Amino acid sequence: MKNKVITYGQVRDIPTDAKQSRIIPFIVSTPDRDRHHTVLNQANWILDNYRKNPVIGYMHNLYGNSFTSSNPDDVIGSTKRIGIETISGRTVLSADAYFETADINPLADKIFRKLMLGSLRAVSVGFLEIGAGSWGKGDEAQGGGNETYRFAGQELLEWSVVNIPSNASSGKRGMGSMRSQAQSGLLYAFSELGMDFSLSQIENMEVYNVLTLLDGKDAGIRDRSPQNIRK
């Protein structure tokens, strides 16, 4: 089973008392086909372990990696309620998030205020695949023009507020610090190659090899070896 990060949740309507309660509701996951050509099974979310440690992160820095050091302030809040819900006839994973106050975590407070303002709206989930999923048929088969992989189930590990929504063409890319750019690059590479490589495998690759794999994917070359792709 691989750890996946799929970006496609968003803020719901913000309650009128959110400034006082610091609680904001989210649609964390939907049944839509995402930018990674996958569909998550909304009826089969495994939440028991997550409820024991219901952390909310920022940009998935909770895992720790080669680009960022461990920082407790990357835990920006906790989930007060999470569950499968039917909204407008669609089954989704929804949650209510409580954000830490400025005296505890200035980063969490900044993100909370940006969510209230609307300059941040997107969230994404980190999860483990449960069971055996399947590729679609016809045009949705693996390698097809509209290839689509449907998960049988997922165990939620965490969910995070993120800068970039699922639609890669929407919004502008912020310059930010070198560390932020590196983290964004890592998440982008994982989003594109995560069906074949784990996050830790990509972290341990040379940048040249990661770029080769991305070029190969764009060219329709399905090979896990950068050397073979270059040939």
pLDDT digits (tens, 9 = 90+) for 164-220: 644 232 222 333 334 444 555 666 677 778 778 877 788 778 877 888 888 887 778
pLDDT digits (tens, 9 = 90+) for 110-122: 999 999 998 898 9
Amino acid sitting at position 189: A
Q: Are 62 and 158 in contact (CB under 8 A)?
A: yes
Domain encompassing residue 16: 3-168
Task: Tell me whether residue 183 is in a domain.
Answer: no
Using CB atoms within 10 A of its CB, is residue 19 exposed (0-12), middle (13-18) or buried (19+)? exposed
Task: Tell me whether residue 118 is in a domain.
Answer: yes
Listed in sequence order, the residues at least 6 apart from 30 whose beta carbon sits closer than 8 Å to its beta carbon are: 8, 9, 42, 90, 92, 93
Structural domains counted in the chain? 1
Mean pLDDT of 40-62: 92
Give the pLDDT score at 63: 65
Task: Tell me whether residue 218 is in a domain.
Answer: no
What is the pLDDT confidence band of residue 59, given thresholds at 50, 70 and 90? confident
On the question of pLDDT at 54 being above 70, the answer is: yes
Task: Tell me whether residue 180 is in a domain.
Answer: no
Give the pLDDT score at 22: 96
Strands (E), 74-152: 75-87, 90-99, 122-130, 134-135, 149-150
Give the pLDDT score at 196: 80
Q: Per the confidence metrics, is the pTM higher than 0.85? A: no
Average pLDDT over all residues of the chain:
82
On the question of pLDDT at 53 being above 50, the answer is: yes
Query: In angstroms, rounded to a whole number, what is the distance separating the alpha carbons of residues 126 and 157?
Result: 5
Task: Tell me whether residue 96 is in a domain.
Answer: yes
Task: Tell me whether residue 41 is in a domain.
Answer: yes
Query: In angstroms, rounded to a whole number, what is the distance separating the alpha carbons of residues 78 and 2?
Result: 24
CA distances from 33 to 38, 41, 53 (A): 6, 11, 28
Percent of the chain with pLDDT over 90: 37
Using CB atoms within 10 A of its CB, is residue 109 exposed (0-12), middle (13-18) or buried (19+)? middle
Among the listed residues 47, 37, 6, the one whose alpha carbon sits nearest the alpha carbon of residue 162: 6
Task: Tell me whether residue 213 is in a domain.
Answer: no
Beta bridge partners of 77: 56, 99
Number of Cβ within a 10 Å radius of residue 157: 20
Query: In angstroms, rounded to a whole number, what is the distance separating the alpha carbons of residues 103 and 109?
Result: 9
Mean pLDDT of 60-83: 80
What is the pLDDT confidence band of residue 13, given thresholds at 50, 70 and 90? confident
Task: Tell me whether residue 186 is in a domain.
Answer: no
pLDDT digits (tens, 9 = 90+) for 128-179: 888 888 998 988 888 888 888 999 999 999 999 988 644 232 222 333 334 4
